[in-house]
C-alpha cells in the first residue's frame, strides 16, 4: 500500500516510475495477493518465518529478508495474524524509519488500531485498512472490490485512499475502527458462521439447486479455504461479534421453536398417526 511523503518522496513518484520500498510482514495468502498487485509500483521485500513461502516469493520476484530489514521500508504492510500482531508491531517500532507509513490489513480494526497507536512512534503515519476481499473473491482481479480505510495517525490516509481508488481501482470506504468492527461483526461474522455450519452439513447438493442456493454455495466457497486464524479473528477478536452471534442463534432457536409448535399443532388437529 502506498505512502505519502517519505524523506521528500511521495506517491506522485509512482507515475514517474520512481518506486518506493514496501516491506510486507507476513507472506501468507493475503501477503502474496498484495505483492501481486503492488509489485508494479513498489520495490518489495517480505518477512515470514515459514520456510514454505520461499518458492512463492521467488516466483513473485519478492526478496525474503529479516524483520529488521522489512521494518525499515518506506511503507510497511502488516499482514500478520491477530495472535501475533502486538509482537510484530513491537518489532517494527524498534527500527521503522521516520516518515514511514505503516498499514495493516487485518479483518478487525479496533484492537489492532489501538496497538499501533500505542506501540508505534509518533514520527510515522498509521492507517488501518481492511480489504473486503481475499484470494478467492479476487481471483478475477481486484477492480471495483471494496477496502475499508481508517485514519489512525498522520495525514497521509488521503493519498493512500487516492492510490487505492485511482491506481488499483478499488472502492474505498472511509470509516473508523469502531464503525468498521460493528458492521464487520454482521457482514463477516455471519457469513463465516453460516459457511462453517453448511460445510459441516456437506456434501451439499449440486444438481437440483436454485439460484439462491447457488449464490449461497458460492459465498461458502469464497471463505472455506481461509486460514483458521481468519475465522478466529472474525469471531473472537471483533468486540461486537459475540453479541451478533448470540442474537443470530437466539433468533434461529426461536424460529425452530415456532416451526416445532406448528408441527405439533397440525399433528393434534389431524388426530396424530
Does 12 have pLDDT greater than 80? no
Could you tell me the CA-to-CA distances from 99 to 3, 62, 118, 153, 156 in Å, in that order?
9, 23, 17, 11, 10
The model's pTM is 0.86
pLDDT value at 169 more than 90: yes
Q: Per-residue pLDDT for 141 more than 70? A: yes
Q: What is the pLDDT of residue 9?
A: 53
Percentage of the chain beyond pLDDT 70 is 90
Round to whole Å and give the CA distance between 46 and 69. Answer: 9
How does residue 17 score in pLDDT terms, banded at 50, 70 and 90? low
Mean pLDDT confidence for 123-134:
96
45 and 70 Cβ atoms separated by less than 8 Å: yes
What would the CATH number be for the domain defined by 11-175?
3.40.50.720
pLDDT at 167 over 90: yes
Q: Which residue has the cell 437440483?
A: 208
User: For residue 26, what are the contacts with CB-CB under 8 A and spacing of at least 6?
Assistant: 47, 48, 78, 79, 80, 81, 88
Confidence of residue 43 (pLDDT cuts 50, 70, 90): very high
Q: What percent of the chain has pLDDT over 90?
A: 77
Q: 42-47 and 75-78 as β-strands: parallel, antiparallel, unpaired? A: unpaired
Pick the closest to residue 149 from 89, 114, 104 (CA basis): 104
Residue 269 has a CB neighbour count (10 Å cut-off) of 8
* Tens digit of each residue's pLDDT (9 = 90 or more) over 79-125: 999 889 999 999 999 999 999 999 999 999 999 999 999 999 999 99
Query: Per-domain residue ranges for the chain?
Result: 11-175, 180-256
Q: Given this model, what pLDDT does residue 253 score?
A: 96
Neighbouring-strand partners of residue 150: 128
Amino acid at each position: 500500500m502506498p505512502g505519502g511523503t517519505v524523506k521528500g518522496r511521495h506517491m506522485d513518484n509512482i507515475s514517474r516510475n520512481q518506486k518506493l520500498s514496501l516491506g510486507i510482514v507476513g507472506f501468507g495468502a493475503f501477503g502474496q495477493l498484495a505483492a501481486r498487485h503492488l509489485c508494479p509500483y513498489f520495490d518489495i521485500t517480505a518477512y515470514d518465518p515459514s520456510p514454505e513461502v520461499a518458492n512463492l516469493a521467488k516466483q513473485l520476484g519478492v526478496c525474503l529478508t529479516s524483520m529488521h530489514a522489512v521494518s525499515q521500508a518506506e511503507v510497511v504492510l502488516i499482514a500478520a495474524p491477530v495472535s501475533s500482531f502486538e509482537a510484530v508491531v513491537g518489532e517494527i517500532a524498534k527500527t521503522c524509519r521516520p516518515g514511514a507509513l505503516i498499514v495493516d490489513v487485518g479483518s478487525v480494526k479496533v484492537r489492532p488500531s489501538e496497538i499501533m497507536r500505542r506501540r508505534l512512534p509518533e514520527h510515522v503515519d498509521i492507517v488501518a485498512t481492511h480489504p473486503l476481499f481475499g484470494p478467492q473473491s479476487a481471483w478475477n482481479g481486484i477492480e471495483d472490490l471494496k477496502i475499508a480505510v481508517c485514519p489512525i495517525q498522520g495525514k497521509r490516509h488521503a493519498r493512500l485512499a487516492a492510490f487505492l481508488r485511482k491506481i488499483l481501482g478499488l472502492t474505498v470506504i472511509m470509516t473508523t475502527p469502531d464503525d468498521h468492527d460493528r458492521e464487520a461483526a454482521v457482514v463477516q461474522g455471519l457469513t463465516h458462521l453460516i459457511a462453517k455450519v453448511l460445510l459441516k452439513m456437506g456434501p451439499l447438493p449440486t444438481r437440483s439447486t436454485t439460484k439462491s442456493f447457488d449464490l449461497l454455495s458460492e459465498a461458502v466457497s469464497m471463505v472455506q479455504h481461509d486460514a483458521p486464524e481468519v475465522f478466529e479473528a472474525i469471531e473472537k477478536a471483533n468486540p461486537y461479534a459475540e453479541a451478533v452471534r448470540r442474537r443470530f442463534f437466539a433468533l434461529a432457536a426461536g424460529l425452530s421453536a415456532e416451526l416445532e409448535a406448528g408441527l405439533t399443532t397440525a399433528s393434534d388437529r389431524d388426530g396424530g398417526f
